[in-house]
Amino acid sequence: MPFASIRIITDDVDRLVSFYELVTGTAAIRPAPVFAQFSGPGANLAIAAPATVAMLGDAASPASNRSILVEFEVTDVDAEFARLRDQLDDVVLEPATMPWGNRSALFRDPDGNLVNLFTPPAG
């Protein structure tokens, strides 16, 4: 079964789309005002308004996640973090080498979701 996407439900689609456009350096595909998608070689990230999941009741709530990390593999974590630093309101971890060898920087998006930029160890 192919993996399709992760969808973040937000009360402010435009704000979150702008944030991820900044992080990824790519423009989102916007087929409707309530939905946007970033497509990449490894996965898709969708950003959507609560209206897209209204039939689920309160199963999905904007800005309430504390367990998922949105992760992007980058060539140079330090350079990407330096590019973004002045635009980030909530830095969780400045670039550091993890015990398993990845170099990572973690911060929160405007809705509080954790974002991890990482570079795997060379080799």
C-alpha–C-alpha distance, residues 68 and 79, integer Å = 24
CB 106 within 8 A of CB 115: yes
| Residue 80, Ramachandran bin (φ over 0: left; ψ between -120 and 50: alpha; else beta) | alpha
**Residue 66: is its pLDDT beyond 90?**
no
- Give the β-pairing of 69-73 and 91-97: unpaired
pTM over 0.85: yes
What does DSSP assign to residue 27?
P
What is the percentage of the chain residues whose pLDDT exceeds 90? Answer: 81
- Structural domains in the chain plus CATH codes: 1-54 (3.30.720.120), 66-123 (3.10.180.10)
